[in-house]
Copies of this chain bind each other. A is one copy, B any other.
Amino acid sequence: MSKRVSDFLLASKNQVDHRLADLAAEQTTRAAVLGETLDAITQAYTYVLTNGGKRIRPTLVYAAARAVGHSGHGADLDHVACALEIIHTYSLIHDDLPAMDDDDLRRGRPSCHKAFNEATAILAGDALQAQAFELLADASDFHPQKRVALIKALAKAAGLQGMVGGQAMDIAATNTDLSLQQLQSMHAYKTGAVIRAALTMGGIAADASADRLDALDAYGSHIGLAFQVVDDILDVKGETAALGKTQGKDSEANKPTYVSLMGLSGAEQESQRLLQAAIDALWEFGADADPLRGLAHYIVSRDR
């Protein structure tokens, strides 16, 4: 990866890290007016928003906007970038709950319901989802028509026809046999929908043409699946410490994975195939799409 590309990706992560920390601080200040009773939930809020995540979805927003001619790091994109990371964060909190995936570790730290309690985790997730939509409604750099398009894209990707539907499929799949096609469909909903939304929302924010939005969406569906294939590979190969979550969790829960269905080398080949398909989807884009290309390589070669 060229220095220019790695600088872009690092700048994206830093920018959204700062904005998320600002948002958590704002919420804490506002809630403090109401007295101590909101201390637990605002602490949980800060805890989950400042946890050193990879920030892939917001980075995709900045990179997609860059790919269609936007400078890439304008403050106008921050609400979009934060809204996507906030939706992702809420989904992790709820997925980790005992009634769901029951995971005690997230990004190397106790998951939200372990650090606080279940009620606080449920409520923090609920508040985050509302805030994501409030941020987009408040994105005053954009014409209301654009804001409505962004909200629609995120709501669809986050709901029953997207992320939540995928999580429901995932839970229903525990202890069952899925075909490769069913596994792909589940992941296309569970993680793919929001990743694709990050790409198209970055494109919409930067006034991409319909053709360019289609290309960004195609790139998104390939890297979304690639991301999951690599997750399954790391779940088998990786170490808990590097991964920051409990390793071997999926195979332990008897959940079907790419590795269990295709074998380790089959899954590794599949991740390379998807990487190539993602790069191919960008063939009409020039050097402005290099951050997206770099991200695709990063997603497939990452070790956590």
Contacts and interface: CB of A to CB of B under 8 A. Distances in A.
A39 to B, nearest CB: 8
Interface in A159-198: 159-162, 164-165, 167-169, 171-173, 182, 185-186, 189
A152 B134 contact: yes
Nearest to A150: B137
Interface residues of A, number: 60
Contacts of A126: 90, 94, 125-126, 129, 164
Most chain B beta-carbon contacts within 10 A, residue among A134, A160, A165: A160
Interface in A123-156: 123, 125-127, 129-131, 133-134, 136-138, 143-145, 147-148, 151-152, 154-156
B120 A38 contact: no
Given A27-B160, A173-B37, A165 B122 contact: no
A172 B100 contact: no
> Which 7 A-B pairs give the minimum distances between C-beta atoms?
A99-B118, A130-B159, A134-B155, A144-B144, A137-B152, A127-B160, A37-B172
